Amino acid sequence: MREKCGVFGIYSQQGRNDSYCAAMSYMGLMALQHRGQEACGIAVNRTRELYFHKNQGLVNEVFNDEIISKLTGQMAIGHVHYSTVGGSRKENAQPLVLNYAKGSLAIAHNGSIINAQELKREYEQTGAIYQTTSDTEIIAYTIARQRIAAGSIEKAVLAAMRIIKGAYSLILLSPNKFIAARDPLGMRPLCMGRKDDGSVVVASESCALDAVGAEFWRDIEPGEVIVIENGELRSDKSLCGNLSKLCIFEYIYFARPDSVISGQLVNDSRRIAGRMLAKSFPVDADIVIDVPDSGTPSALGYAEESGIAFEQGFGKNRYVGRTFIRPDQLSREGAVRLKLNPMRKYIEGKRVIMVDDSVVRGTTMGIIIKMLRDIGAKEVHLRISSPPFLWPCYYGTDVSGIDQLISKNYNIKELCKIFNADSLAFLKLEDLQNIIPNAQGDNLGFCKACFTGEYPVM
């Protein structure tokens, strides 16, 4: 398994048949680019038919004005892709568009289906032929099979949700319906908003709503299915339960800092984590620096709580992708020096506290600390604003084996030696819940399996 993706969709109440929805989707996907950098795509409906364009690459590489102008329709869905199941292949780009006995369907998916291989083998026994290696195709097949007996596409989606297991936020188009759905545990975020012209927008994060000028409306509830048809929105909550397990890592690393998820501003969560680190693990030092960008709010929080000056320790090349979500280990290591450049003026001769959001494989940490040592850092104290990553994630994160988790295989003293750090401390597990003081929602809970090994669904 790989890492997360991002989904975006819009339904125009104006009955438009121009490229407005595609253009809004382009803007929304640009705002969600951090969630996936391997591929992207947009699908629209036009005269009860579905049209799409997708390819490998960043959003601004795959689309241009000419392509957008041809994607006309009243509804659109989009996707930014990083491999979940199946690897980085052109055919795995989404939205996935297929024709079946009852018509056509476009689907965009964020998450990972843990019983995908079981379902795949079952469908193969009845003659299924696959075009991709993605678990999204398994979702689409499941919906298509259920649609044969179901009275509507939304009933087929609900039936499929009783079969597939795992984490998923879905946006679908049929020729005349716009559908959004979230898994019954709400493990991946999904929210919706409204524009002044009445358009309804659905996205993985609220930052995408902001990007298209939509006002945040509410989060889609775990297990909820939203259907928009002929301008009317209806909600089915028959699969909504009494338990929620939103991925806590959204607040630590995945989401953009300006996104609000379940009522909690992500930036505030990261800043609170830094303050807790400073309280629990103080150290005498001259400056606090961040590993940009997701480590920046926590570093600011650490500096505020400790009273030690914050300095921007690294210049960042923002044209290099996030190293955690690169598809292979070699390119992840090679990207570090291209991406980060330490500032000698602030580092040389100083005792440095460096704050980062997490340590997963640990591949880059030693390289970064060596860069600081090379320009004259006197001491380097490493502070991590999340607990040790000890267990693999089966819900759409690029960590599928314990052998990849450096904190599982080495203790703090050993990690200090491996990283060449003077000291190392992680956020306490018991403090994790306290980074989300403003989170709201009925029976709102969080998946912390990567830290605890307690998996909500298997």
For residue 336, count other CB atoms closer than 10 A to its CB: 18
User: What is the SS3 assignment for 279?
Assistant: helix
Report how far residue 440's alpha carbon sits from residue 445's, in angstroms, rounded to the nearest whole number.
Answer: 10
Q: How many CA atoms lie within 13 A of 418 on its CB side?
A: 16
Report how far residue 28's alpha carbon sits from residue 8's, in angstroms, rounded to the nearest whole number.
Answer: 6
For residue 18, count other CB atoms closer than 10 A to its CB: 14
Report how far residue 421's alpha carbon sits from residue 4's, in angstroms, rounded to the nearest whole number.
Answer: 30
**Catalytic, out of 5, 240, 393, 450:** 5
Single-letter amino acid, residue 46: R
Q: Which of 309, 444, 449 is nearest to 393 (CA)?
A: 449
Report how far residue 196's alpha carbon sits from residue 366's, in angstroms, rounded to the nearest whole number.
Answer: 50
DSSP 219-261: EPPTT-EEEEETTEEEEE-TT--S---EETHIIIIIS-TT-EE
Backbone angles phi, psi at 24, to 5 degrees: -65, -40
Report how far residue 396's alpha carbon sits from residue 394's, in angstroms, rounded to the nearest whole number.
Answer: 6
User: What is the SS3 assignment for 265?
Assistant: strand
Q: Which of 102, 104, 88 is nearest to 149 (CA)?
A: 102
Single-letter amino acid, residue 316: K
Clarify whether 5 is annotated catalytic.
yes
For residue 249, count other CB atoms closer than 10 A to its CB: 23
Which sign does the torsion angle of CA 132, 137, 141, 147 carry?
A: negative
The residues annotated as belonging to the active site are: 5
